[in-house]
Structure 1
Amino acid sequence: MDQLTLFLIGLLVGIALTVAAAAAWRFALRRGSGNTTAADGSAASPGLTTVPTEHFIEVSKRAVAAEAQAAELRAQVHQLLDHQQHITERERLAMADESRVLQTLAPVRETLRTMHEKVAQLERERAGQYSALAQQMNQAQINGDQLRATTESLASALRNNSIRGVWGETQLRNVVEAAGLTQRVDFDVQTSIRSDAGTGRPDMTVRLPGGKSIAVDAKVPYNAYIEASSIPATATGDEAARRTALLAQHVKAVRGHIDALAAKSYWSGLDASPEFVIAFIPNESLLAAALEADPALLDYSFSKRVALASPVNLWAVLKTVAYTWQQDVLTDDAKRLFDLGKELYQRLSVLSEHSDKLRKAIESTVNSYNQFASSLETRVLVTARKLDALDESKVIGTPSLVDTVPRHLTATEFSAEPGLAHPERLATSRSAEQEEWLTTRLAAPEPTDPPQI
């Protein structure tokens, strides 16, 4: 039981005791009042004890106070009971409301549970992804360190002139092969030529259609650019001044390279070559840095008949050369095909002459045979039948005529007459004349010669 129930039980016991005490006091009070009345009406007996009046008055006051307190306690008990019932009803309603709320929030609770599970799963996945990302970051750092070491090694190697030359030639070969050119067919490497400046050896000689060619050089200054690249572009103060000075040295080195190529004048030692040489810059940034530091560098190179070409520009030029070669090969093939067609046409003309002669010979043979058959039928057999009139058991048959004529070649190419415009009309008329002659010959009793065609 709760504390409130125990309090109510104790309160009820106290009230019961108070009521019992009040009843005892009232009983004593009535008894005392009876004794007093008997003393006033008659003489008291010698054995009875007289109760003082003050004592009864005090007892009466206490009894009245006890009854008032008991009534107040009863009222408080009723209030407490009502309050307890109200609290109980309110708790019941609250529990009912809570039950309804819980039922209403059941889907929300299920959703929250599902969300909690998903959040837990996402957290596990995030932990796994974080671990994988950490591994990738570590691997990227390792790769970056390796790349940095390789870059430093490459930069150190490119400071050597011989290694830098091999690197430039390799890059040039890659660009040429990517453009579709073939060595010793479309280009040659390291070929010696004699020019006005003496003997020279360009890194590559590209052959152009029509026996033309152009020289390409792949050497380039690199040291100053490497040192300038090691300084950030955002540097300030002394570092920025040092970077500017190194780029100026790079431009000066490129200008010196242009002057050296111009002095060699490779174009004068090549047959039918454009009057310039291509200076191949193996790295786009090399040329871009030089042009950024000195925008007039291109004009200077053009004035020296030197064309500065990066890998992209050179690839475009060589791709154009490869396409020109393809078109040149197609042109040669087309010319050979035209010559063969012309020769075949001439030979077909000769063949048409032979076929016309053969046709005429066949027609002559047919005409001769038809004349023979006609003479045999109308001349010889008539007389032979008269001689053999006594024996008619065996009759000599009549030979049939050949009514098939050779087909004419109606195409213009097979016309034997050089000025014949429409040979098919002639063939049609000949066939009609032959048919007419054959019809007449079969109907006539006497042989006639076929019309001359």
Structure 2
Amino acid sequence: MDVENLLLGILIGAALVAAPMSFWAARNAQRRFDAGRTSRDGETAGLDARLRSSEAALQETRATAQAAAEARSALAARMEESASAHAEKLRWIDTAREQLAQQFQSLAASILDAKAERFAASNGEQVGALMAPLREQLQQFQQLVVESRAQEGESRAVLRTEIITLRQMSERLSGDAMNLARALTGDTKSQGAWGELVLERLLEVSGLSEGRDYETQVVLRDEGGETRRPDVVVRLPGGRDVVIDAKVSLTAFERWCNDTDIVARDKHLAEHLGSMRRHIDELGKRGYARSSGLASNGIVLMFVPIEAAYLEAIRVDPKLYELALRSDVVVVSPGMLLGVLRTVDHVWKAEARSRNAEKIAERAGLLYDKFAAFVQDLQRASEQTGKARESIDTAIGKLATGRGHLVGQVEKLRQLGARSSRDLRSLLPIVDHDDDEGEGDAT
């Protein structure tokens, strides 16, 4: 739900930013009308009244622009704070890795120094086999840390340019939309194709991947078995979905753009507003939240592919946005939708970094367990080597020391005349006792 609240906050903030543009659209319409109007005194008085009204609206939109700027600054601060938090997490991981490596190195050195004398040359291969998994785990851990730092650096570099490029792309898309809107006729099919084309372009530049982050022309069924086919379904982290609809009619708006008669223009603008209200009501009744195969809370993004069409509707009826929200519909222009899609892309990247951090922590735990097992095996081998040494010392003691030891008995045979080319006394330390003739057991 935090992601959805963030998206809703961005949309409302973008709506406030879009308000000043509506004023300039109204001024441009007024100038075109002035070029063709007659010089009648009554019409001049009416235009003066509208000019004073527009100047009053200018003051209001300036205040709105200030509020939107503050909202955008707050969003940038939160995004920067998120980047700082990820950087701090990476620094913590680097520090932990260095400390862990130092502790491992110190512990291994102390164990090897204490037990080195007890190992024979034949134990070298065994120690190498024990160290190989540990070395592999350390290399994998280091690789994960390096990859995570590289991803964080790339994300921070992208973040610095996103806020600047977002507005530039929005203005460019708005200009393209306005130019193409003038070339459109009242054909609804052509307008629908244009809306889908603009939506497709926004998805391409947003950084999202089709098939992974969003899907087009998804077939859904509601509770009554009726088929629903939304234009786009955007996937969000946490298994949530957002529906985008781009089928709003702009026929009346196209007539408003091309007509020069003020009465006819007002009529076309009212028809345009009515068309948007009807489409909002229709989307609110579709019940996407109850459709099978869709994990949505019911909110639908109603995409208006021409920025000016959105701004004029909001200018004429400022409560249109609130009306749409009550029907679980959010009206978005190209610039607003691009901001939403870019935010979704950043959320997915943050989710990936979080998963990498969890993998690093899991790998560190496995590495620690592996090293603990290595130390345990090392201690067990040391104990077994010590026991073997004690057994050898005991056997040698029975062989060459103690009263009646075996070497002494055999040496008596040589003294009695047994022929031999070697002397056992030069090979083993023999301790003689006074009663060499005794036959007691070796100690």
TM-score by length of 1: 0.48
Q: Select the structure of larger CA radius of gyration.
A: 1
Larger relative contact order (Cα-Cα within 8 Å, sequence gap ≥ 6) = 2
